[in-house]
């Protein structure tokens, strides 16, 4: 298949590119950085230079593709609402290029948006309609264009050596404040998945004959936040203590959030089975620090 992927040099997108190339698919990647573009081109990927704001480019490139995998998202939380709207428009532009003929669009979302406080399953719709990120809602809306849409709901921690997401935020906060912290009793749960297992899932969705709408990229269904803080504290030689929301700043809603999620249907229907280390094991690696 000819597959167009946004975020082709990103944390998750780069693993998806490798999966697709290894499986014999032809890949076109959307890239912004010249440095990263050179490395990607050396792997045989066709490059399209641009950003998610180049809506005409997204539509035109999608129109020349059999499928699109959308992994790009700007995670600058200082302008999150604007980035969420950029993402929504990009999904619409990509679907417009794919419309008709039942071609595939795979969109990235997150399990934290489904049903905080209870075990989220693949059959549950996104729960918080007031949340600025509308990836999944827009994905449902563009089905009217005759596109076969699936959503990968990523765990809040997509981990692995080189992680620059939520776990690296916790590590840097611990270093800066001298304490590896949790909120309350630290019993709130975080699901997690290794980036290589997540990348493989996108490829498997692309190749399945009758894809469902939502899949959960979740290996660990719900690790208590306190357990994460304990491993980080042990690795850094720091005390592990409860702290108020103020300690975490902008990150407090994530640090105190309870987001358990199942991947039961995903595992059965895709025959997807995580093979990489779990989060707590991964966090014992010195390379993480």
CA count, 13 A, side-chain hemisphere, 252: 11
Joined tokens for residue 3: 């597959």
pTM across the whole model: 0.94
Joined tokens for residue 189: 């749960």
Reference 270, options 203, 204, 199; nearest CA is 204
DSSP for 59-82? HHHHHT-SEEEE------GGGHHH
What is the predicted pLDDT for the residue at 77?
73
Reference 199, options 18, 73, 29, 40; nearest CA is 18
**Going residue by residue through the chain (289 aa), what tens digit of pLDDT does each one get?**
999 999 999 999 999 999 999 999 999 999 887 777 777 888 889 999 999 999 999 999 999 999 999 999 987 777 888 999 999 999 999 999 999 888 999 999 999 989 889 999 999 998 656 678 889 999 999 999 999 999 999 999 999 988 888 999 999 999 999 999 999 999 999 999 999 999 999 999 999 999 999 999 999 999 999 999 999 999 999 999 999 999 999 999 999 999 999 999 999 999 999 999 999 999 999 988 8
Provide the residue ranges of all domains of the chain, joining segments of one domain with +: 2-156+193-217, 158-191+220-288
Alpha helices for the chain (secondary structure H)? 13-22, 34-41, 55-63, 80-98, 135-141, 166-177, 195-207, 225-236, 245-248, 252-255, 264-270, 279-282
Rounded to whole angstroms, the maximal C-alpha distance in the chain is 58
Burial class (CB within 10 angstroms; exposed 0-12, middle 13-18, buried 19+) of 229: buried
- Same fold: 2-156+193-217 with 158-191+220-288: no
Which residue carries 């129109």 as its tokens?
63
What is the predicted pLDDT for the residue at 128?
59
Which CATH homologous superfamily contains domain 158-191+220-288?
UDP-galactose 4-epimerase, domain 1 (3.90.25.10)
CATH hierarchy code of domain 2-156+193-217: 3.40.50.720
3-state secondary structure of 188: coil
């Amino acid at each position: 298949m000819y597959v167009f992927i946004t975020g082709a040099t990103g944390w998750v997108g780069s693993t998806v590119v490798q999966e697709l190339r290894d499986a014999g698919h032809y890949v076109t990647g959307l890239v912004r950085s010249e440095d990263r573009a050179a490395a990607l081109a050396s792997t045989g990927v066709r490059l399209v230079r641009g950003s998610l704001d180049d809506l005409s480019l997204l539509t035109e490139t999608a129109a020349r593709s059999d499928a699109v995998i959308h992994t790009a998202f700007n995670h600058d939380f200082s302008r999150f609402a604007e980035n969420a709207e950029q993402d929504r428009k990009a999904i619409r532009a990509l679907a417009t290029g794919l419309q008709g003929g039942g071609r595939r669009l795979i969109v990235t979302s997150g399990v934290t948006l489904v049903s905080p406080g209870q075990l989220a399953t693949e059959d549950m719709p996104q729960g918080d309609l007031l949340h600025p990120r509308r990836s999944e809602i827009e994905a449902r809306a563009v089905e009217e264009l005759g596109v076969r849409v699936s959503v990968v709901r990523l765990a809040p921690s997509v981990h692995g050596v080189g992680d620059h997401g939520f776990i690296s935020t916790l590590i840097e906060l611990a270093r800066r404040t001298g304490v590896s912290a949790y909120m309350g009793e630290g019993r709130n749960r975080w699901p997690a998945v290794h980036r290589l297992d997540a990348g493989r899932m996108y490829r498997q969705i692309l190749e399945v004959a009758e894809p469902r709408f939502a899949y959960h990229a979740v290996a660990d269904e719900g690790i208590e936040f306190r357990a994460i803080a304990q491993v980080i504290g042990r690795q850094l030689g720091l005390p592990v203590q409860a702290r108020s929301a103020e300690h975490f700043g902008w990150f407090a809603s994530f640090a105190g959030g309870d987001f358990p999620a199942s991947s039961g249907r995903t595992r059965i229907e895709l025959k997807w089975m995580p093979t990489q280390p779990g989060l707590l094991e991964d966090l014992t690696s010195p390379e993480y620090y």
